[in-house]
Amino acid sequence: MLHNSDARFRIEGASAAQQQAVDALAQQFLVSDERLAAIVKEFRRRMEVGLAADCTMLKMVLSHVVWRPTGRETGSYFAIDLGGTNLRVLRVTLDGAGGATTEHQKFVLTEDAKRRTLFDFVAQCVETFLDDRSLRPAASAPPLSIGFTFSYPIDQTSINSGTLLYWTKGLDVPGCVGRDVVRLLEDALLRVGLRARVAGVASDTVSTLLAAAYADPAAQMGVIFGTGTNAAYYEDVAAIAKWKGPDPPSREMAVSIEWGAFDSDELAILPYTPHDIKLDRKSLNPRRQVYEKMISGMYLGEVARNVVLWLADQRLLLDGRSSDVLNAMWSVDTSYLSAAALDDSPDLSEIREIIEKTLNVPMSTLVDRRIFKAIAILVGERAARLSTVGLVATLTKRPALLDRPLTVAMDGSMYEHYPGFDRIMTETVSRFIPARQFANIRFSLAKDGSGIGAAVLAMLATQHSAAAAQ
Ligand code: BGC
Protein backbone atom coordinates (compact mmCIF):
# COMPACT_ATOMS: atom_id res chain seq x y z
CA MET A 1 0.00 0.00 0.00
CA LEU A 2 1.24 3.38 -0.94
CA HIS A 3 0.00 5.38 1.98
CA ASN A 4 2.92 7.82 2.03
CA SER A 5 2.23 8.87 -1.52
CA ASP A 6 -1.54 8.60 -1.12
CA ALA A 7 -2.81 12.17 -1.33
CA ARG A 8 -5.91 11.33 0.66
CA PHE A 9 -3.82 10.99 3.78
CA ARG A 10 -1.59 14.03 3.24
CA ILE A 11 -3.40 16.58 5.36
CA GLU A 12 -2.99 20.10 4.01
CA GLY A 13 -2.14 22.54 6.80
CA ALA A 14 -1.47 19.82 9.38
CA SER A 15 1.35 20.18 11.90
CA ALA A 16 4.19 17.69 11.69
CA ALA A 17 2.82 15.87 14.74
CA GLN A 18 -0.65 15.66 13.24
CA GLN A 19 0.69 14.35 9.92
CA GLN A 20 2.80 11.81 11.75
CA ALA A 21 -0.26 10.54 13.63
CA VAL A 22 -2.27 10.25 10.40
CA ASP A 23 0.63 8.38 8.79
CA ALA A 24 0.68 6.00 11.73
CA LEU A 25 -3.05 5.41 11.31
CA ALA A 26 -2.64 4.76 7.58
CA GLN A 27 0.11 2.31 8.41
CA GLN A 28 -2.23 0.45 10.77
CA PHE A 29 -5.39 0.54 8.69
CA LEU A 30 -4.20 -0.10 5.16
CA VAL A 31 -3.82 -3.84 4.72
CA SER A 32 -1.41 -5.01 2.04
CA ASP A 33 -2.29 -7.60 -0.59
CA GLU A 34 0.30 -9.96 0.91
CA ARG A 35 -1.35 -9.75 4.29
CA LEU A 36 -4.77 -10.31 2.72
CA ALA A 37 -3.45 -13.39 0.91
CA ALA A 38 -2.21 -14.87 4.18
CA ILE A 39 -5.56 -14.21 5.85
CA VAL A 40 -7.46 -15.80 2.93
CA LYS A 41 -5.36 -18.93 3.34
CA GLU A 42 -6.21 -19.22 7.01
CA PHE A 43 -9.88 -18.48 6.29
CA ARG A 44 -9.97 -21.36 3.79
CA ARG A 45 -8.43 -23.70 6.32
CA ARG A 46 -11.06 -22.72 8.86
CA MET A 47 -13.82 -23.35 6.33
CA GLU A 48 -12.58 -26.91 5.90
CA VAL A 49 -12.44 -27.43 9.67
CA GLY A 50 -16.02 -26.15 9.95
CA LEU A 51 -17.25 -28.48 7.22
CA ALA A 52 -15.69 -31.43 9.01
CA ALA A 53 -16.99 -30.92 12.54
CA ASP A 54 -19.37 -28.91 14.70
CA CYS A 55 -18.32 -26.32 17.24
CA THR A 56 -15.51 -24.64 15.39
CA MET A 57 -14.64 -21.01 14.74
CA LEU A 58 -16.43 -20.92 11.38
CA LYS A 59 -19.67 -22.73 12.09
CA MET A 60 -20.44 -23.55 8.43
CA VAL A 61 -24.14 -23.92 9.33
CA LEU A 62 -25.88 -26.54 7.20
CA SER A 63 -29.11 -24.91 6.10
CA HIS A 64 -30.88 -28.08 4.93
CA VAL A 65 -31.69 -26.09 1.79
CA VAL A 66 -30.87 -28.65 -0.91
CA TRP A 67 -32.98 -27.12 -3.64
CA ARG A 68 -32.83 -24.23 -6.04
CA PRO A 69 -35.89 -22.42 -7.22
CA THR A 70 -36.53 -22.53 -10.95
CA GLY A 71 -38.10 -19.07 -11.11
CA ARG A 72 -41.27 -20.60 -12.52
CA GLU A 73 -42.94 -21.22 -9.17
CA THR A 74 -45.95 -19.11 -8.29
CA GLY A 75 -47.97 -18.35 -5.16
CA SER A 76 -48.24 -15.98 -2.21
CA TYR A 77 -46.24 -16.59 0.94
CA PHE A 78 -45.88 -14.84 4.28
CA ALA A 79 -42.40 -14.02 5.45
CA ILE A 80 -40.74 -12.63 8.55
CA ASP A 81 -37.32 -11.06 8.09
CA LEU A 82 -35.65 -10.41 11.43
CA GLY A 83 -32.43 -8.46 10.94
CA GLY A 84 -30.06 -6.59 13.20
CA THR A 85 -31.83 -3.24 12.99
CA ASN A 86 -35.24 -3.88 11.48
CA LEU A 87 -37.96 -6.43 11.34
CA ARG A 88 -39.96 -6.76 8.16
CA VAL A 89 -43.20 -8.63 7.75
CA LEU A 90 -44.12 -9.44 4.18
CA ARG A 91 -46.57 -11.10 1.91
CA VAL A 92 -44.69 -12.01 -1.23
CA THR A 93 -46.29 -13.05 -4.48
CA LEU A 94 -43.98 -14.99 -6.77
CA ASP A 95 -44.91 -14.31 -10.37
CA GLY A 96 -43.56 -17.44 -12.05
CA ALA A 97 -41.10 -15.47 -14.18
CA GLY A 98 -38.34 -14.81 -11.64
CA GLY A 99 -40.06 -11.72 -10.25
CA ALA A 100 -41.98 -11.00 -7.08
CA THR A 101 -44.26 -8.33 -5.71
CA THR A 102 -44.38 -7.63 -2.02
CA GLU A 103 -46.64 -6.05 0.50
CA HIS A 104 -44.52 -5.31 3.50
CA GLN A 105 -44.17 -3.34 6.66
CA LYS A 106 -40.93 -2.40 8.37
CA PHE A 107 -40.56 -2.07 12.15
CA VAL A 108 -37.43 -0.77 13.87
CA LEU A 109 -36.32 -3.12 16.66
CA THR A 110 -36.89 -1.35 19.96
CA GLU A 111 -34.25 -1.37 22.70
CA ASP A 112 -36.67 -3.42 24.80
CA ALA A 113 -37.03 -5.96 21.98
CA LYS A 114 -33.24 -6.21 21.70
CA ARG A 115 -32.80 -6.81 25.42
CA ARG A 116 -35.95 -8.57 26.59
CA THR A 117 -39.06 -9.06 24.53
CA LEU A 118 -37.86 -9.91 21.04
CA PHE A 119 -40.22 -12.72 20.06
CA ASP A 120 -43.27 -11.01 21.59
CA PHE A 121 -42.31 -7.87 19.68
CA VAL A 122 -42.11 -9.90 16.45
CA ALA A 123 -45.50 -11.48 17.13
CA GLN A 124 -47.09 -8.08 17.75
CA CYS A 125 -45.67 -6.76 14.49
CA VAL A 126 -47.02 -9.77 12.58
CA GLU A 127 -50.40 -9.16 14.20
CA THR A 128 -50.30 -5.47 13.18
CA PHE A 129 -49.38 -6.40 9.61
CA LEU A 130 -52.22 -8.90 9.31
CA ASP A 131 -54.84 -6.79 11.07
CA ASP A 132 -54.01 -3.64 9.09
CA ARG A 133 -54.71 -5.58 5.93
CA SER A 134 -57.59 -7.73 7.23
CA LEU A 135 -55.48 -10.83 6.56
CA ARG A 136 -55.86 -12.50 9.97
CA PRO A 137 -56.99 -16.07 9.24
CA ALA A 138 -60.26 -17.35 10.78
CA ALA A 139 -59.91 -19.52 13.87
CA SER A 140 -61.04 -22.54 11.84
CA ALA A 141 -58.51 -21.93 9.03
CA PRO A 142 -55.29 -23.96 8.81
CA PRO A 143 -52.29 -22.41 10.54
CA LEU A 144 -50.56 -19.62 8.65
CA SER A 145 -47.50 -20.88 6.79
CA ILE A 146 -44.46 -18.59 7.16
CA GLY A 147 -40.89 -18.38 5.91
CA PHE A 148 -38.58 -17.04 8.62
CA THR A 149 -35.30 -15.23 8.03
CA PHE A 150 -33.39 -15.18 11.29
CA SER A 151 -30.13 -13.24 11.03
CA TYR A 152 -28.30 -14.76 13.99
CA PRO A 153 -26.25 -17.94 14.25
CA ILE A 154 -28.25 -21.11 14.75
CA ASP A 155 -27.37 -24.75 14.83
CA GLN A 156 -29.85 -25.77 12.18
CA THR A 157 -31.41 -29.13 12.95
CA SER A 158 -33.94 -29.27 10.09
CA ILE A 159 -35.39 -26.97 7.46
CA ASN A 160 -37.66 -25.50 10.12
CA SER A 161 -35.79 -25.80 13.39
CA GLY A 162 -32.55 -24.50 14.81
CA THR A 163 -31.14 -23.60 18.20
CA LEU A 164 -29.59 -20.23 18.80
CA LEU A 165 -25.82 -20.50 19.27
CA TYR A 166 -25.22 -16.97 20.54
CA TRP A 167 -26.50 -13.47 19.93
CA THR A 168 -24.66 -11.02 17.71
CA LYS A 169 -25.14 -7.38 16.59
CA GLY A 170 -25.90 -6.02 20.05
CA LEU A 171 -28.84 -8.29 20.88
CA ASP A 172 -28.91 -9.81 24.31
CA VAL A 173 -32.30 -11.40 24.90
CA PRO A 174 -32.17 -13.81 27.83
CA GLY A 175 -33.63 -17.31 27.64
CA CYS A 176 -32.98 -17.88 23.92
CA VAL A 177 -29.47 -19.32 23.54
CA GLY A 178 -29.72 -23.10 23.17
CA ARG A 179 -33.42 -22.98 22.29
CA ASP A 180 -35.21 -23.55 19.00
CA VAL A 181 -35.92 -20.11 17.55
CA VAL A 182 -38.81 -21.47 15.49
CA ARG A 183 -40.56 -22.70 18.64
CA LEU A 184 -39.88 -19.36 20.33
CA LEU A 185 -41.53 -17.60 17.38
CA GLU A 186 -44.49 -19.98 17.03
CA ASP A 187 -45.16 -19.77 20.79
CA ALA A 188 -45.05 -15.96 20.74
CA LEU A 189 -47.46 -15.93 17.79
CA LEU A 190 -49.82 -18.20 19.71
CA ARG A 191 -49.73 -15.75 22.62
CA VAL A 192 -51.28 -13.13 20.32
CA GLY A 193 -53.81 -15.67 19.08
CA LEU A 194 -52.13 -16.51 15.77
CA ARG A 195 -51.73 -20.14 14.82
CA ALA A 196 -48.73 -20.30 12.52
CA ARG A 197 -46.35 -22.89 11.22
CA VAL A 198 -42.87 -21.88 10.18
CA ALA A 199 -42.27 -23.81 6.95
CA GLY A 200 -38.59 -22.89 6.83
CA VAL A 201 -36.03 -20.89 8.79
CA ALA A 202 -32.82 -19.54 7.25
CA SER A 203 -30.01 -17.09 7.71
CA ASP A 204 -30.43 -13.79 5.85
CA THR A 205 -27.53 -14.90 3.65
CA VAL A 206 -29.33 -18.08 2.59
CA SER A 207 -32.52 -16.09 1.97
CA THR A 208 -30.60 -13.55 -0.09
CA LEU A 209 -29.13 -16.41 -2.12
CA LEU A 210 -32.57 -17.94 -2.66
CA ALA A 211 -34.14 -14.64 -3.68
CA ALA A 212 -31.37 -14.14 -6.24
CA ALA A 213 -31.61 -17.75 -7.44
CA TYR A 214 -35.34 -17.33 -8.10
CA ALA A 215 -34.43 -14.77 -10.76
CA ASP A 216 -31.01 -16.00 -11.82
CA PRO A 217 -29.84 -19.63 -12.18
CA ALA A 218 -26.19 -18.47 -11.89
CA ALA A 219 -26.63 -17.32 -8.25
CA GLN A 220 -24.09 -19.15 -6.07
CA MET A 221 -23.53 -16.89 -3.08
CA GLY A 222 -25.61 -14.63 -0.85
CA VAL A 223 -23.61 -12.04 1.08
CA ILE A 224 -24.58 -9.46 3.68
CA PHE A 225 -22.47 -6.42 4.49
CA GLY A 226 -24.90 -4.61 6.74
CA THR A 227 -25.29 -4.18 10.49
CA GLY A 228 -23.52 -7.54 10.63
CA THR A 229 -21.77 -9.59 7.98
CA ASN A 230 -21.90 -13.16 6.72
CA ALA A 231 -22.27 -15.22 3.54
CA ALA A 232 -23.86 -18.41 2.30
CA TYR A 233 -22.98 -20.50 -0.73
CA TYR A 234 -24.00 -23.75 -2.35
CA GLU A 235 -21.53 -26.44 -1.29
CA ASP A 236 -21.07 -29.89 -2.79
CA VAL A 237 -22.38 -32.33 -0.13
CA ALA A 238 -19.42 -34.61 -0.82
CA ALA A 239 -17.25 -31.85 0.68
CA ILE A 240 -19.35 -31.64 3.87
CA ALA A 241 -17.87 -34.34 6.09
CA LYS A 242 -20.11 -33.46 9.01
CA TRP A 243 -23.34 -34.01 7.00
CA LYS A 244 -24.81 -37.27 8.21
CA GLY A 245 -28.11 -37.19 6.33
CA PRO A 246 -28.93 -38.79 2.99
CA ASP A 247 -27.32 -37.23 -0.06
CA PRO A 248 -29.87 -34.96 -1.67
CA PRO A 249 -30.62 -35.48 -5.38
CA SER A 250 -29.13 -32.06 -6.13
CA ARG A 251 -25.87 -33.07 -4.35
CA GLU A 252 -25.69 -29.50 -3.04
CA MET A 253 -26.63 -27.70 0.12
CA ALA A 254 -26.58 -24.02 1.00
CA VAL A 255 -24.11 -23.43 3.84
CA SER A 256 -24.08 -20.30 5.97
CA ILE A 257 -20.45 -19.68 6.87
CA GLU A 258 -21.09 -17.40 9.87
CA TRP A 259 -17.93 -15.63 8.81
CA GLY A 260 -18.29 -12.75 11.28
CA ALA A 261 -16.77 -15.13 13.84
CA PHE A 262 -13.53 -15.57 11.89
CA ASP A 263 -10.52 -15.26 14.25
CA SER A 264 -12.80 -15.12 17.30
CA ASP A 265 -11.27 -16.13 20.64
CA GLU A 266 -7.82 -16.40 19.07
CA LEU A 267 -7.42 -12.87 17.69
CA ALA A 268 -4.37 -14.19 15.90
CA ILE A 269 -4.48 -13.15 12.27
CA LEU A 270 -6.56 -10.06 11.55
CA PRO A 271 -4.77 -6.70 11.62
CA TYR A 272 -6.13 -5.37 14.91
CA THR A 273 -5.35 -1.87 16.04
CA PRO A 274 -5.63 -0.68 19.66
CA HIS A 275 -8.89 1.00 18.55
CA ASP A 276 -10.39 -2.36 17.58
CA ILE A 277 -9.24 -3.98 20.78
CA LYS A 278 -10.80 -1.20 22.82
CA LEU A 279 -14.11 -1.64 21.00
CA ASP A 280 -14.00 -5.40 21.42
CA ARG A 281 -13.23 -5.22 25.12
CA LYS A 282 -16.18 -2.94 25.78
CA SER A 283 -18.63 -4.78 23.53
CA LEU A 284 -21.39 -7.13 24.65
CA ASN A 285 -19.51 -10.04 23.12
CA PRO A 286 -15.76 -9.61 23.78
CA ARG A 287 -13.45 -11.72 21.59
CA ARG A 288 -16.45 -12.83 19.51
CA GLN A 289 -17.41 -11.73 15.97
CA VAL A 290 -14.07 -9.97 15.64
CA TYR A 291 -14.04 -10.07 11.82
CA GLU A 292 -17.54 -8.58 11.83
CA LYS A 293 -16.32 -5.84 14.16
CA MET A 294 -13.84 -4.67 11.50
CA ILE A 295 -16.27 -4.80 8.60
CA SER A 296 -19.87 -4.20 9.49
CA GLY A 297 -22.03 -1.15 9.94
CA MET A 298 -22.77 -1.78 13.59
CA TYR A 299 -19.13 -1.23 14.53
CA LEU A 300 -17.26 1.06 12.14
CA GLY A 301 -18.54 4.28 13.66
CA GLU A 302 -17.31 3.11 17.03
CA VAL A 303 -13.86 2.23 15.67
CA ALA A 304 -13.68 5.75 14.22
CA ARG A 305 -14.84 7.29 17.50
CA ASN A 306 -11.99 5.52 19.29
CA VAL A 307 -9.54 6.92 16.75
CA VAL A 308 -10.95 10.45 17.08
CA LEU A 309 -10.64 10.35 20.88
CA TRP A 310 -7.13 8.91 20.65
CA LEU A 311 -6.08 11.90 18.55
CA ALA A 312 -8.03 14.41 20.65
CA ASP A 313 -6.45 13.10 23.84
CA GLN A 314 -3.03 13.93 22.36
CA ARG A 315 -4.35 17.37 21.35
CA LEU A 316 -3.81 16.44 17.74
CA LEU A 317 -7.49 16.86 16.90
CA LEU A 318 -10.14 19.36 17.96
CA ASP A 319 -7.49 20.94 20.18
CA GLY A 320 -8.25 18.24 22.72
CA ARG A 321 -11.95 19.13 22.97
CA SER A 322 -14.66 16.51 23.08
CA SER A 323 -18.28 16.43 24.27
CA ASP A 324 -20.63 14.20 26.24
CA VAL A 325 -21.99 12.90 22.96
CA LEU A 326 -18.56 12.10 21.53
CA ASN A 327 -17.53 10.48 24.80
CA ALA A 328 -20.50 8.12 24.77
CA MET A 329 -19.98 4.67 23.23
CA TRP A 330 -21.74 4.09 19.89
CA SER A 331 -22.48 7.81 19.43
CA VAL A 332 -20.75 7.88 16.05
CA ASP A 333 -23.09 6.19 13.61
CA THR A 334 -21.45 4.52 10.64
CA SER A 335 -23.63 6.68 8.37
CA TYR A 336 -21.68 9.75 9.63
CA LEU A 337 -18.54 8.13 8.26
CA SER A 338 -20.19 7.55 4.88
CA ALA A 339 -21.22 11.19 4.81
CA ALA A 340 -17.74 12.32 5.85
CA ALA A 341 -15.99 10.17 3.24
CA LEU A 342 -18.25 11.72 0.58
CA ASP A 343 -17.81 15.35 1.64
CA ASP A 344 -15.93 17.11 -1.14
CA SER A 345 -17.00 20.65 -0.30
CA PRO A 346 -14.11 23.18 0.03
CA ASP A 347 -14.68 23.76 3.75
CA LEU A 348 -15.94 20.22 4.45
CA SER A 349 -19.26 21.60 5.61
CA GLU A 350 -20.95 18.22 6.02
CA ILE A 351 -18.18 17.13 8.40
CA ARG A 352 -18.47 20.43 10.27
CA GLU A 353 -22.16 19.69 10.78
CA ILE A 354 -21.36 16.21 12.08
CA ILE A 355 -18.63 17.36 14.47
CA GLU A 356 -20.23 20.56 15.71
CA LYS A 357 -23.96 19.78 15.59
CA THR A 358 -24.39 16.03 15.77
CA LEU A 359 -21.45 15.29 18.05
CA ASN A 360 -21.80 18.62 19.82
CA VAL A 361 -18.11 19.56 19.85
CA PRO A 362 -18.16 23.39 19.88
CA MET A 363 -15.61 24.17 17.17
CA SER A 364 -13.58 22.47 14.46
CA THR A 365 -10.83 23.75 12.16
CA LEU A 366 -10.51 22.80 8.53
CA VAL A 367 -7.51 20.65 9.45
CA ASP A 368 -9.62 18.83 12.07
CA ARG A 369 -12.20 18.14 9.41
CA ARG A 370 -9.60 16.92 6.93
CA ILE A 371 -8.29 14.51 9.54
CA PHE A 372 -11.84 13.36 10.32
CA LYS A 373 -12.35 12.62 6.64
CA ALA A 374 -9.09 10.67 6.45
CA ILE A 375 -10.25 8.56 9.41
CA ALA A 376 -13.57 7.83 7.70
CA ILE A 377 -11.77 6.77 4.52
CA LEU A 378 -9.28 4.58 6.37
CA VAL A 379 -11.89 2.76 8.44
CA GLY A 380 -14.15 2.22 5.40
CA GLU A 381 -11.34 1.17 3.10
CA ARG A 382 -10.03 -1.37 5.57
CA ALA A 383 -13.55 -2.80 5.88
CA ALA A 384 -13.88 -3.10 2.10
CA ARG A 385 -10.49 -4.76 1.73
CA LEU A 386 -10.98 -7.17 4.63
CA SER A 387 -14.41 -8.08 3.30
CA THR A 388 -12.70 -9.63 0.30
CA VAL A 389 -11.03 -12.24 2.50
CA GLY A 390 -14.27 -14.17 2.95
CA LEU A 391 -15.35 -13.53 -0.63
CA VAL A 392 -12.12 -14.77 -2.20
CA ALA A 393 -11.89 -17.79 0.12
CA THR A 394 -15.44 -18.81 -0.75
CA LEU A 395 -15.26 -18.08 -4.47
CA THR A 396 -12.11 -20.16 -4.86
CA LYS A 397 -13.50 -23.01 -2.76
CA ARG A 398 -15.26 -24.51 -5.80
CA PRO A 399 -12.97 -23.26 -8.58
CA ALA A 400 -14.78 -25.12 -11.36
CA LEU A 401 -17.80 -22.90 -10.78
CA LEU A 402 -15.73 -19.90 -11.81
CA ASP A 403 -15.44 -21.27 -15.33
CA ARG A 404 -18.99 -20.17 -16.08
CA PRO A 405 -21.11 -17.15 -15.16
CA LEU A 406 -21.58 -16.89 -11.43
CA THR A 407 -23.65 -14.35 -9.52
CA VAL A 408 -22.84 -13.14 -6.02
CA ALA A 409 -25.99 -11.62 -4.53
CA MET A 410 -25.09 -8.83 -2.13
CA ASP A 411 -27.12 -6.79 0.29
CA GLY A 412 -26.66 -4.57 3.32
CA SER A 413 -26.06 -0.96 4.18
CA MET A 414 -22.26 -1.11 3.89
CA TYR A 415 -22.39 -2.59 0.41
CA GLU A 416 -25.16 -0.33 -0.72
CA HIS A 417 -24.23 2.98 0.87
CA TYR A 418 -20.61 3.18 2.07
CA PRO A 419 -18.79 5.27 -0.53
CA GLY A 420 -16.24 3.22 -2.41
CA PHE A 421 -17.00 -0.04 -0.57
CA ASP A 422 -18.33 -1.77 -3.67
CA ARG A 423 -15.54 -0.46 -5.91
CA ILE A 424 -12.68 -1.28 -3.56
CA MET A 425 -14.12 -4.69 -2.76
CA THR A 426 -14.54 -5.64 -6.41
CA GLU A 427 -11.12 -4.30 -7.35
CA THR A 428 -9.46 -6.19 -4.51
CA VAL A 429 -11.22 -9.46 -5.37
CA SER A 430 -9.92 -9.08 -8.93
CA ARG A 431 -6.34 -9.23 -7.65
CA PHE A 432 -6.85 -12.70 -6.22
CA ILE A 433 -8.77 -14.43 -9.00
CA PRO A 434 -7.44 -15.04 -12.52
CA ALA A 435 -8.83 -12.44 -14.93
CA ARG A 436 -10.50 -15.09 -17.13
CA GLN A 437 -12.49 -16.35 -14.13
CA PHE A 438 -13.03 -12.96 -12.55
CA ALA A 439 -14.79 -11.91 -15.77
CA ASN A 440 -17.45 -14.55 -15.05
CA ILE A 441 -18.35 -13.10 -11.66
CA ARG A 442 -21.25 -10.69 -11.35
CA PHE A 443 -21.74 -8.90 -8.05
CA SER A 444 -25.33 -7.82 -7.91
CA LEU A 445 -27.38 -5.96 -5.36
CA ALA A 446 -30.18 -8.20 -4.11
CA LYS A 447 -32.11 -5.43 -2.44
CA ASP A 448 -34.29 -6.78 0.39
CA GLY A 449 -33.43 -10.30 -0.77
CA SER A 450 -33.71 -11.60 2.77
CA GLY A 451 -37.47 -10.90 2.82
CA ILE A 452 -38.29 -12.29 -0.61
CA GLY A 453 -35.90 -15.19 0.00
CA ALA A 454 -37.83 -16.20 3.13
CA ALA A 455 -40.93 -16.52 0.95
CA VAL A 456 -38.98 -18.51 -1.66
CA LEU A 457 -37.84 -20.75 1.20
CA ALA A 458 -41.42 -21.23 2.44
CA MET A 459 -42.44 -22.12 -1.12
CA LEU A 460 -39.60 -24.64 -1.59
CA ALA A 461 -40.06 -26.25 1.83
CA THR A 462 -43.81 -26.60 1.32
CA GLN A 463 -43.40 -27.98 -2.19
CA HIS A 464 -40.81 -30.53 -1.17
CA SER A 465 -42.57 -31.66 1.98
CA ALA A 466 -45.74 -32.18 -0.10
CA ALA A 467 -43.72 -34.17 -2.65
CA ALA A 468 -42.12 -36.28 0.10
CA ALA A 469 -45.54 -37.05 1.59
CA GLN A 470 -46.84 -38.47 -1.71
C1 BGC B 1 -24.95 -12.99 12.20
C2 BGC B 1 -25.27 -13.76 10.94
C3 BGC B 1 -25.91 -12.86 9.91
C4 BGC B 1 -25.05 -11.61 9.70
C5 BGC B 1 -25.65 -10.65 8.69
C6 BGC B 1 -24.18 -11.72 11.88
O7 BGC B 1 -24.04 -10.94 13.04
O8 BGC B 1 -24.19 -13.77 13.09
O9 BGC B 1 -26.12 -14.85 11.25
O10 BGC B 1 -26.07 -13.56 8.71
O11 BGC B 1 -24.88 -10.93 10.92
O12 BGC B 1 -26.87 -10.15 9.11
User: How does pLDDT run along the chain (470 residues), one tens digit per residue?
Assistant: 444 568 889 999 999 999 999 999 999 999 999 999 999 999 999 999 999 999 789 999 999 999 999 999 999 999 999 999 999 999 999 999 999 999 999 999 999 999 999 999 999 999 999 999 999 998 889 899 999 999 999 999 999 999 999 999 999 999 999 999 999 999 999 999 999 999 999 999 999 999 999 999 999 999 999 999 999 999 999 999 999 999 999 999 999 999 999 999 999 999 999 999 999 999 999 999 999 999 999 999 999 999 999 999 999 999 999 999 999 999 999 999 999 999 999 999 999 999 999 999 999 999 999 999 999 999 999 999 999 999 999 999 999 999 999 999 999 999 999 999 999 999 999 999 999 999 999 999 999 899 999 999 999 999 988 777 76
CA 234-238-239 angle, to 5 degrees, is 65
d(CA 200, CA 158): 9
Give the whole-angstrom CA distance, residue 121 versus residue 124: 5
Q: CB count, 10 Å around CB of 425?
A: 24
Is residue 222 within 6 Å of ligand 1 at its C-beta? no
Where in the sequence numbering do the catalytic residues fall?
88, 151, 204
- The CB of 204 under 6 Å from ligand 1? The reply is yes
**275, β-bridge pairs:** none
Distance 155 CA to ligand 1 centre (A): 13
Residue 230 Cα to ligand 1 midpoint, Å, equals 5
Question: Can you tell me the distance from the alpha carbon of 48 to that of 41, in angstroms, rounded to the nearest whole number?
Answer: 11
Q: Are strands 229-236 and 252-256 parallel, antiparallel or unpaired?
A: antiparallel
pLDDT at 5: 62
Inter-residue contact 47 to 60 (CB < 8 Å): yes
Which is the closest atom of ligand 1 to the Cα of 224?
Answer: 5
Q: Which atom of ligand 1 is nearest to the CA of 289?
A: 7
The 8-class DSSP code of residue 247 comes to P
Residue ranges of domains in the chain: 61-216+448-461
Tell me the CA–centroid distance for residue 23 and ligand 1, in Å.
33
Ligand 1, atom nearest to 205 Cα: 10
Q: Which residue's CA is the closest to the ligand 1 atom numbered 2?
A: 152
Angle 139-143-461 from CA coordinates, rounded to 5°:
170
Query: 178-187 burial by CB neighbour count: b if 16+ within 10 A, else e?
Result: eebbbebbbe
Q: Is the CB of 203 under 6 A from ligand 1?
A: yes
Which atom of ligand 1 lies nearest, measured to the CA of 228?
Answer: 11
The pTM for the full model equals: 0.96
Q: How many CB atoms are closer than 10 A to CB 452?
A: 31
Ligand 1 in contact with 84 (CB < 6 A)? yes
Burial of residue 263 (CB within 10 Å: 0-12, 13-18, 19+) is buried
For a mutational test of ligand 1's pocket, the pick from 149, 151, 285, i.e. the residue with the most ligand atoms closer than 8 A to its C-beta, is: 151
Smallest CA-to-CA distance from 451 within 200, 88, 195 is with 88
Q: What is the pLDDT of residue 466?
A: 74
The region, left, alpha or beta by phi > 0 then psi within -120 to 50, assigned to residue 408 is beta
SS3 label, residue 455: helix
Q: What is the pLDDT of residue 1?
A: 43
Q: What is the pLDDT of residue 376?
A: 97
Is 448 touching ligand 1 by the criterion CB < 6 Å?
no
Q: Which one is the CATH code of 61-216+448-461: 3.40.720.10, 3.30.70.100, 3.30.420.40, 1.20.1260.10? A: 3.30.420.40
Cβ pair 116, 96 in contact under 8 A: no
